[in-house]
Amino acid sequence: MTCLKTCCALLFAATLLPALADDMVNMPDMPAHHHPVDNAPAVLPGDSVFQVPAPLTDQGGQPFNPAHAAPPATLFTVFYGDCQYACPIIVENLKQTVAALSTTERSRLRVVMISLNPGIDTPEKLAQLAQKNALAPGLFSLVVAKDDADTRLWAAALGVKYRRATNGDINHSTRLVITNRAGVPVADNSTLAPRPDPDFMQALHTALQ
């Protein structure tokens, strides 16, 4: 009886396995987006800004880790929601910068805008700012740290200086920083202008290749 069961099992396997093999060969390829891959290096370089030990939260209220699924290039800057002078110019610069890129280049870029005003710039307020300025959520991440101490860690990593005025304004330097997939800065610009700097744009094109 045992021998009969064994023979039947072997016969079943011999019949079924070729059919399964054929099905596997004929299966359609799954789209690449069904299998997201985090291409960030396992060990980040010492000069990577991704190593800043200060958690961020995005405009959707979700934890934001710039190292996770990092694209070939990330464009960092700082701002705050109630800013009436420099920040609107920075936002316009970023929008023109993105508009000057090809569709393929935009798909390889992430723009990260870090608020200098934690506690005031809540995720809800950041979402409103993103919508008001027509900043595409898949491309622009408006983020905020939990407190001023963590915010200053990010500011220092990006070479930004700022101080709070008694009236609530925040005086800050202008800084755009391009990092590669590992979070290492490859180019920066400190010019406050609505139109992108040509040299900086060329550096961005190169980073997105």
Is 8 annotated to bind ligand?
Answer: no
As a whole number of angstroms, the distance between CA 14 and CA 4 comes to 15
Helix then strand count (H, E) for the chain reads 6, 9
What the block records as the tokens of 175 is 């800084």
Is 83 annotated to bind ligand?
Answer: yes
Pairing of strands 140-145, 109-115: parallel
How many Cβ atoms are within 10 Å of 34's Cβ, its own excluded? Answer: 7
How many Cβ atoms are within 10 Å of 111's Cβ, its own excluded? Answer: 21
The amino acid occupying position 79 is F
The amino acid occupying position 155 is A
Is 3 annotated to bind ligand?
Answer: no
Residues annotated within the binding site are 83, 87, 172
Residues making up the binding site for Cu cation: 83, 87, 172
